[in-house]
Structures are given as C-alpha cells and as structure tokens.
Amino acid sequence: MCFKYINPNTSHWLPKPPGTVASYSNEGSALAALVVERVSNMSYSVYVKEKILKPLGIDISKVGVRLSDFKDTVDLVKHYAYAPNESYLKRWNQQIPQLNIEQMPGNLSNWLYIPHFSFSAYPAGLLRMSARTLSIYLRMFLSNGSSILRPRSIAQMRTVVGGGLIPTYNPNSANDSSDQEHPSEFGLSWYWQTMQDGRRYIGHSGLMPGMLHLMLINEKHNLGVIILSNADATSPNDLSREIGETGINIHMSLFKCFDAGPAHGLA
C-alpha cells in the first residue's frame, strides 16, 4: 500500500509543492512506519511493543493492532453508531460494505453495531489499549522522554513545523486556509490546537467509525487528559456532532479543574 504513495506522478500527491501547505495524512504515518521496519528489520507492531511499550513497563499482552494479539477479544470494547432512520444503515453499507455493519435488535434499533475492523494504514491509529495503559505512554511524554526518548526529541515533536507559517491545505479554496473551529498547528505527528478560550494544547485525536479518541497536554507541559470512546462522531447527524463537542468539553472542564493549582501529573 505504502509504495504507491511514494510516486509523485500519481493522484495521491497534493497539487502543491512540498512544504507549502499542511494536510493531515494517515498514509504519512504508515510511510514513517515503513521506514522504521526497513531500518530495524522488525515489523512495526513488534518494534512498538519491544522498543517502546516494554521499556515503559506496559503489559504487551494487553495491547495490539490485530485481534489475534489478544488472548480474549471479549475484553475489547464494541463500537456503535446512532442511526435516526433506516437510511443510515443503507448508507453505511454502501460506503464501507467491508465492515458488515448491522442494526441492533429490539428497542435498540436506532443503533448500529460496527464489528472490529482493520485497515492497511494501521500505524496511523489501530493500536488497541486501555486509557490507563495509554496514560503510561503519555506520562513518558510529560517526563520529557523518560527512558526511551531524549528531551530534545520531545522538544522537536512539540515544535510547529514551518514556525506556524504554513497554511492548511483547502481543496475548496484558491487561498489555502483553515476553516476549522479549532485550527491545528502540526509538530511531528502531534499537533497543537488553540481552543475558543485561547488556551493551546498539544496531542492527538482519532476519529473512525464507532470510535472517538482525544489525548491532549496543556501548554505548561504538566497535565494531560485522555478520553477513549466507542461512540461514533462520523455520521452527519446531531448526535454525532454532540458526541464530538462533548469530548472537547470534558477535556476543557478537566483542564480548568486541575490546571489552576501547582504542577500536577496525569488526570
């Protein structure tokens, strides 16, 4: 999958010179993972477990990118999406038939069940773990790398590429600019977001069918908040929008609660 994106003479490249616009790319993460595999002579999933998770003291039997990585998949959370009417199920199955999405029975008929799935660019967001386990990784970031990264590497990850002067690519506008409610400034994989109250946070979010995740750190680099949800925020309906807004609001409430006092650890 990755190699077809390397060729610049394809439709996979933006119609802009490199370095002139910013655009989030799952395939970019997959290409970075491919580089790791070629340099280390290890599969990316094994490298992450052996070189990142194990040194942090994380139980690698409880994390994985494949269902076969887990002894009992019953422990994995299930995924759902709200469907106000029957047309939503039809639309889901037309757009992504490979997911085999089903309508829930009985009194839950307004909800759709989304079975566990995978995708080829899995390094971009398919590492399954609990919020508690992910918090161990986040503490490493708060501790400036702990035992696996140098402080200067953490500083590089936090640094906005291009000094914040590179506009976000907008295919619908002649002048590239971001129309996002909370515009992002990209570092290395992590990115900064400025919220409505003017506060800036760095972290990463994830949005896929039946999943909504958000992990942020405050600008003082002493407090982090993680929310992992099995709710869907991809459907074009009011509930999906409300779910997305609720995730942001929970984060902001926790930061306001714990960020007022002296330095804290992870919330």
pLDDT higher than 80, residue 68: yes
Say whether pLDDT at 171 is over 90: no
CA–chain centroid gap for 29, Å, is 11
Q: How confident is the model at residue 2 (pLDDT cuts 50, 70, 90)?
A: low
Q: What is the pLDDT confidence band of residue 264, given thresholds at 50, 70 and 90? A: very low
Whether the Cβ atoms of residue 200 and residue 252 lie closer than 8 Å to each other: no
Q: Enumerate the domain spans of the chain.
A: 1-13+25-63, 130-267
Q: Name residues whose C-beta falls within 8 Å of residue 213's C-beta, 6 or more positions apart in sequence.
A: 205, 206, 207, 226, 227, 228, 229
Give the percent of the chain with pLDDT over 90: 53
pLDDT at site 195: 85
- Both tokens of residue 234? 């991809």
In this predicted structure, what is the pLDDT of residue 177?
A: 56
Does the pLDDT of residue 25 top 60, yes or no?
yes
How far is it, in rounded angstroms, from Cα 65 to Cα 67? 7
Contacts of residue 99, Cβ cutoff 8 Å, sequence gap at least 6: 92, 93, 114, 115, 117, 209
Mean pLDDT of 92-103: 94
- Binned at pLDDT 50, 70 and 90, residue 267 comes out as very low
Burial of 39 per CB tally in 10 Å (0-12, 13-18, 19+): exposed
pLDDT tens string 117-165: 998 889 998 999 999 999 999 999 999 988 899 999 999 999 998 888 8
- CA–CA distance, 30 with 141 (Å, rounded to integer): 21
Tokens coding 62: 């409880």
CA dihedral over 174, 175, 177, 180, signed as positive or negative: negative
- Please give the average per-residue pLDDT across 79-88, as a whole number: 90
Q: What is the largest CA-CA distance in the chain?
A: 55
| Res 201 pLDDT > 70 | yes
Helix (H) or strand (E) holding 74, with range, is: none
Place 263 in a pLDDT band, splitting at 50, 70 and 90. very low
223, pLDDT greater than 80: yes
Question: Residue range 225-238: average pLDDT?
Answer: 89
Region 2-29: what's the mean pLDDT?
80
Q: Which residue has the tokens 């109250």?
A: 197
Distance between CA atoms of residues 180 and 142, nearest Å: 27
Q: Tell if the pTM clears 0.95, that is, is over it.
A: no
Q: Among positive and negative, which fits the CA dihedral 32, 38, 39, 43?
A: positive
Lowest mean pLDDT among 71-80, 174-183, 237-246: 174-183
Q: State the pLDDT confidence band at 28, using cuts at 50, 70 and 90.
A: confident
Mean pLDDT (whole number) for 84-103: 92
CATH number of 130-267: 3.40.710.10
Q: Radius of gyration (Cα) for the chain, nearest Å?
A: 20
Q: Three-state SS string across 160-206, please? A: CHHHHCCCECCCCCCCCCCCCCCCEEECCCCEEEECCCCCEEEEEEE
